[in-house]
Structure 1
Amino acid sequence: MTDFFKGIAPVTFEGAHSDSEFAFRHYDPDEMVMGKAMKDHLRFACAYWHSFAWPGGDPFGGQTFERPWFGDTMDLARMKADVAFDMFQILGVPYFCFHDADVRPEGADFAESTRNLEAIVDYFGEKMDATGLKLLWGTANLFSHRRFMAGAATNPDPEVFAFSAATIKTCMDATHKLNGENYVLWGGREGYETLLNTDMGRERAQAGRMLQMVVDYKHKIGFDGAILIEPKPQEPTKHQYDYDVATVYGFLKDFGLEDEVKVNIEQGHAILAGHSFEHELALARELGIFGSIDMNRNDYQSGWDTDQFPNNVPEMTLAYLEVLKAGGFATGGTNFDAKLRRQSLDPEDLILAHVGGMDACAAGLKAAAAILENGALEEAREARYAGWNGDLGQSLMQSGLAEIEAMVRSENINPDPRSGRQERLENLINRFL
């Protein structure tokens, strides 16, 4: 191990009454929940970018973190990997995730950047073989460098489109080589600042073609993982083409990709889109495109993406309720797309932030499982829609307006409203928290 986390032992489960900061109170990896080990339900992953590449800046101030691996050399990139794998082992997470720009220094050109990435991928491979760590997903950073200021796939300059396509190809190769279980596309700047200089039809067509190429290449190289789009509204652009789950689904339908691509849903992005996390998860499940989640939270007093570590167990319970109803994760998992506060400078802070997030997720999962096993919530939902299973409900779905009007007249249908019982159900949920 490196010296960065010196003195911090691997975190283990000690139970709810433990007095240790460096212990899990709820996350027992081997505890059985609904017939499956908790570690297999949650499939935790650490995000390389926030934990090891982010310097601690925000829109109003620059770097606050001083990490020994910060710099643009391959030796420092290897040091970063050493520290990262130390943290993964301390936490006992089974997975990690990365962008290309997180793990390798930027080269003078595309070829040098690719060589750097390939060298780090080989280094990752050795460390993964030695530790048993796995890659949940890889992705390309097509938003940070100034060349992407007007987007990547949607850029008005075809040279940027070409550079972006080539970068995606190298990142898909890296993910495939490391046996990654998914490949994610996040259009951080795929949008516009103003319609005055934007051809929306052209940009949507470019984005659709890029995604078709990604799917084609997946099949060409025999990548068995899922292709995931991560919805994101606005910020930093005025409009983004992957605003929310519904928008992404419409996009997929337009380009014939609804059976090829799923979604990676982030809690913070759902809130920025004006939805709840559970809404986005439920809609993805109903549309058949649920894939994976990025777990974090926003500060509800701020209007931007703060990416804080999750600690709201009631919210997480509702989220994991939808995950369980979707049948759980297949290739997806729970990735901590979360970062420390810029004042949290100590190595211990990075460990404890993940410990708290993992414990909160575990508590939410157990509460969600208890709700489903109790059955009262689902029984109430089924009872509310029970009429649609009868003769009237079945006939309405097969009839036209004129037929229905005749039926209402002849049978003197004059319905009274029925209570939705929302408060009762909210109280029911709280019994499990």
Structure 2
Amino acid sequence: MTDFFNGIDTIKYEGPGSTNPLAFHHYNPDETVMGKRLEDHLRFAVAYWHSFAWEGGDPFGGQTFLRPWHPQDDMGRAKIKADAAFEMFRILGQPFYCFHDADVRPEGADYRENTDRLNEITDYFAGKMEDTGTRLLWGTANMFSHRRWMSGASTNPDPDVFAFAAATVKSCMDATQKLGGENYVLWGGREGYETLINTDMKTELDHMGRFLSMVVEYKHKIGFKGQILVEPKPQEPSKHQYDYDAATCYGFLQKYGLEKEVKLNLEQGHAILAGHSFEHEIATAAALGVLGSIDMNRNDYQSGWDTDQFPNNVPEVALAYYHILKAGGFTQGGTNFDAKLRRQSLDAEDLIAAHVGGMDVCARGLKAAAAMMEDGGLEDELNERYAGWQTAEAKAMLESDLGSITKRVLDQDINPEPRSGRQEILENYINRFV
């Protein structure tokens, strides 16, 4: 056991008038929004890697956090880390958590030892989950940190690395199913290239497509009921990653016949790195039928890299949840805080406060999104803007050809004038709710 969080009470909802930094001001899990509890809308999860495995380093400096489970190199300390993690889940009332295999068990000498350690710690998790009621939103395999993955996992030029990756994913899918996980995620941080000089892109993409097909085949073989999710990111750590953004991923899934089997786990920070907004990525995935789950965080717009900070921009978050609600809300997905403390934030209280603030921002954003949905102002504007396409003549045009359309333009003397997009009016409308 550990006394890491000693003195920190269970976080309670105290309302917007409270000045208590360790209380919810906007997140009341039992508040009903659009006929559904706020907890059931948001489906919050803690990311095990940033909250418990990360040691506070950055590219220019090493460890700043000193935790009771450091160094993370034996199973005894892995269980101390689990004790602290589940204590934090209890304090926050978190319904879910997520993990990579390398977050929860120390690296072994070989695949067999890795798997034995993963099985041992997930057996330990099972008891903790029963005690706390916390569930597993998703599991995944870390196939980017260890040196064996330096040239990729499924895209590696060495078939032995491909084999090690396949076996690793199998063990992680087995662990995820054992714990009742609702999704399984694949993020290809090294599935890409540093230079095209030594890269056979077609071969790598084909191998990556076959690997993902094997994952889907194994899902059905073991009867896993969760979603298989791919997480887009354009670069970092690789110069170019094949899962660049939502649209690129969908094209990849279509090419390999997986668009009905695999959905996307979208991250705010990754969307920004790809040159998009978060709502763009969510709206794209929803339009293509592959919206699965989200990682909630933010980047520092000055830094230009993936800083993984906790969210604090309510208007951005509100627009993201607006498109999620418009798509029908989460089913098996949720809101995972793929976010970490700043390396100067050393204390246990900092870790709790970061999640409290993030949960409040998400609650404010979702409630604003729900209010806009119920008001209907944005949908009314969209319906008005596209109303011309509801006419029989416009619908028939889509079934016509260029020659017939040209004849219609000439016969009816069509000479359209542009109409205002009313962007500023709509931005002002959104500001009424956030």
TM-score normalised according to structure 2 size: 0.99
- Aligned position for 1:59: 59
Whether the 8 Å contact between 1:45 and 1:95 is mirrored in structure 2 is yes
CA deviation after TM superposition for structure 1 residue 205, in Å: 0.5
Which residue identity does 2:39 align to in structure 1? K
Distance in 2, matches of 1:323 and 1:61, equals 38
- Aligned position for 2:32: 32
CA deviation after TM superposition for structure 1 residue 303, in Å: 1.1
- Aligned position for 1:432: 433
CA deviation after TM superposition for structure 1 residue 391, in Å: 2.0
- Aligned position for 2:346: 345
Residue 187 (structure 1) aligned with residue 188 (structure 2): yes
Q: Which 4+ stretches in 1 moved above 3 angstroms?
A: none
- Aligned position for 1:139: 140
- For the residue of structure 1 that corresponds to 2:120, the secondary structure is helix
CA deviation after TM superposition for structure 1 residue 2, in Å: 3.1
- Aligned position for 1:409: 410
Residue 154 (structure 1) aligned with residue 155 (structure 2): yes
Distance in 2, matches of 1:284 and 1:105, equals 35
Which residue identity does 1:154 align to in structure 2? T
Q: Give the unaligned 5+ runs of structure 1.
A: none
- Give the stretch that moved more between structures: 326-335 or 387-396: 387-396
- Aligned position for 2:125: 124
Distance in 2, matches of 1:230 and 1:408, equals 45
- Aligned position for 2:310: 309
- Aligned position for 1:11: 11
- Give the stretch that moved more between structures: 68-77 or 136-145: 68-77
- For the residue of structure 2 that corresponds to 1:138, the secondary structure is strand
Whether the 8 Å contact between 1:265 and 1:293 is mirrored in structure 2 is yes
RMSD value, Cα: 0.6
CA deviation after TM superposition for structure 1 residue 68, in Å: 1.2
Superimposed CA distance per residue, residues 383-409 of structure 1 (whole angstroms, 9 cap, x where no aligned partner): 000000002320111110001000100
- Aligned position for 1:90: 91
Distance in 2, matches of 1:116 and 1:393, equals 62
- Aligned position for 1:375: 376
Whether the 8 Å contact between 1:2 and 1:86 is mirrored in structure 2 is no
Distance in 2, matches of 1:432 and 1:129, equals 39
Whether the 8 Å contact between 1:9 and 1:90 is mirrored in structure 2 is yes
- Aligned position for 2:200: 199
Distance in 2, matches of 1:393 and 1:35, equals 37
- Give the stretch that moved more between structures: 79-88 or 228-237: 228-237
Superimposed CA distance per residue, residues 254-295 of structure 1 (whole angstroms, 9 cap, x where no aligned partner): 000000000000000000000000000000000000000000
Whether the 8 Å contact between 2:45 and 2:97 is mirrored in structure 1 is yes
- Give the stretch that moved more between structures: 58-67 or 251-260: 58-67
- Aligned position for 1:241: 242
Q: Give the unaligned 5+ runs of structure 2.
A: none
Whether the 8 Å contact between 2:292 and 2:332 is mirrored in structure 1 is yes
Which residue identity does 1:47 align to in structure 2? A
CA deviation after TM superposition for structure 1 residue 235, in Å: 1.2
CA deviation after TM superposition for structure 1 residue 320, in Å: 0.4
- For the residue of structure 2 that corresponds to 1:242, the secondary structure is coil
Distance in 2, matches of 1:221 and 1:279, equals 35
Residue 323 (structure 1) aligned with residue 327 (structure 2): no
Superimposed CA distance per residue, residues 130-177 of structure 1 (whole angstroms, 9 cap, x where no aligned partner): 111100000000000000000100000000000000000000000000
- Aligned position for 1:47: 47
Distance in 2, matches of 1:279 and 1:106, equals 38
Superimposed CA distance per residue, residues 22-69 of structure 1 (whole angstroms, 9 cap, x where no aligned partner): 100000000000000000000000000000000111111111111110
Whether the 8 Å contact between 2:2 and 2:68 is mirrored in structure 1 is no
Distance in 1, matches of 2:103 and 2:280, equals 31
TM-score normalised according to structure 1 size: 0.99
Identity of aligned residues (%): 70
- Aligned position for 2:399: 398
